[in-house]
Chain A
Amino acid sequence: MLAAFADPVFDSQRTFRELLQAMARPAAPRPLPVLPPAPAPVAPAAMAILLTLCDATTSVWLQQPSDEAVRHLRFHAGLRLADEPQAADFALISEPAAMPPLQRFGAGDLRYPDRSASLIVQVDGFRSGAEADRLRFAGPGLREPVALAIDGLPADFWQQRAALSARLPLGIDLFFVAAQQVLALPRTTRLLET
């Protein structure tokens, strides 16, 4: 079996601070400080997030629950696995092209919109800058709109997310990981029309 964080207290603290800043300043890729070993199909960056945030009180849905990944996560984080996306606090999407529609994840309750899913999506990469294929985002945490492209998402992903954003403050919060980087899109980040 592979190891987890070499220094659980400080590695998870440093990872959390990056996740907090990622959520507070959306659509900007940030490097994660520690990449723990991770069995396929879990990416090391996704493993860092799971080890930082999940434990026996959270349920996690794995899109591709390989035996090794399940054993590893159960041993190191003690987390519960959810059978259905709807029941998950966290979901790990390891093959975004085949991911279930966003509507299948919990978006919270109007009195408790925090009881909603957080998705960790392993994507191919991010591209920022002003080129034509970039999407533009605005919302809390962004001083001005930012341009960004995320590679490897299903074709109708942004339509699904736009449909969800009509239900604010209900919604789903997203962490995208690629290589060593993490980027967050909370429910409040709006996709601007071009």
Chain B
Amino acid sequence: MTPSYNFAFLDEDTKRMLRRALLKAVAIPGYQVPFGSREMPLPYGWGTGGIQVTAALLGPDDVLKVIDQGADDTTNAVNIRRFFARVAGVATTERTVEASLIQTRHRIPETPLREDQILVFQVPEPEPLRTLEPREAETRTLHALGDYGLMHVKLYEDIAQYGHIATSYDYPVLVDGRFLTSPSPIPKFDNPKLDRSPALMLFGAGREKRLYAIPPYTRVESLAFDDHPFEIQQWEHRCELCGSGESYLDEVVVDDRGGRMFVCSDTDYCGRRRTEAQA
């Protein structure tokens, strides 16, 4: 731990501001709470929102896991894990079951989460309506009125044009029947894990200066139509490393002759299954 920083990098005033915002976020599920996002030692877009939320939560007893697209060993995950090991001296892990706090970019771990775990999402664009309505004043009004017709029209246009809803990630959800919410760019494969999750889920968007929450055991509904129900991705392949037919698969190009393989995106899940298979 580097002693010249306050614990977990942020000063205490900033942490208090974040903590007040987090409590309001939990009290109003799916509502985006504005907060005073600070400049962090890495640029906006690299998970500064998630990092600030994690810094406000972190204590010396926590065990931190950081994943990027499911993997513990990619640049963003390694950097953020090292950052907190350095400025907070906390224990880190790559194992989902050992972690008390998991910061994630764009995936939810395959291993089911527990009540004593908190999941922190890095969010690039917290406003699900932003691509449909650029004005913040207007989207705030739409949320105030619970008027989400725009999003239904967008999904309907997908069906009219492609025959199915073509949104495959950042698939909009309705939280507790009230607020339309971005689940962050997780694949829609992960959307069912948001519904009535035992773990508290917190979302931080640093550049957009918003944070929001989905409390445990809260109804989270992926938008759909009666005749076009919500469906998740399916593969004709199994993971070529661990053989799982239930996890989210990445397609990896392995040579320059068009060779490719499908492997689990969750490296901890895949690794553990391979270890168990050997034993």
Contact = CB atoms under 8 A, between A and B. Distances in A.
B4 to A, nearest CB: 15
Contacts of A110: 144-145
Contact of A114 (B15, B21, B145): B21
Interface in B61-119: 115
Contact of B25 (A52, A57, A114): A114
A187 B27 contact: yes
A19 B23 contact: yes
Given A55-B13, A58-B20, A141-B217, A168 B178 contact: yes
Interface in B119-142: 140-141
Contact of A10 (B59, B178, B219): B59
Interface stretch (A20-28, A92-100, A158-166): A20-28
A24 B216 CA distance: 7
Interface residues of B, number: 43
Interface residues of A, number: 40
B57 A20 contact: yes
Contact of B178 (A9, A17, A24, A169): A169
Contacts of A140: 29, 176, 215, 217-219
A171 B33 CA distance: 15
A142 interface: yes
13 contacts: A13-B59, A14-B59, A20-B26, A24-B215, A55-B13, A55-B16, A58-B20, A112-B140, A113-B28, A114-B21, A114-B31, A173-B24, A188-B27
Contacts of B178: 168-169
Interface string A1-18: 000000011101110110
Contacts of B218: 140-141
Contact of B12 (A9, A17, A23, A143): A9
B27 A186 contact: yes
Interface of B: 6-7, 12-13, 15-17, 19-29, 31, 33-34, 56-60, 115, 140-141, 143-145, 176, 178-179, 196, 200, 213, 215-219
A52 B16 contact: yes
A111 B27 contact: no
A19 B176 CA distance: 21
A40 B24 CA distance: 28
A169 B216 contact: no
B28 A188 contact: yes
A16 B27 contact: no
A130 interface: no
A21 B116 CA distance: 9
Given A8-B12, A13-B58, A111-B140, A188 B23 contact: no
Nearest to A173: B27
Nearest to A19: B23
Contacts of B27: 23, 171, 173, 186-188
Contacts of B56: 16
A169 B200 contact: no
Most chain B CB inside 10 Å of its own CB: which residue of A19, A89, A169, A188: A169
Nearest to B35: A114
A110 B31 CA distance: 11
A114 B28 contact: yes
Contacts of B20: 53, 58, 89
Nearest to B21: A114
Contact of B29 (A12, A17, A188): A188
A122 interface: no
B57 A188 contact: no
B17 A142 contact: no
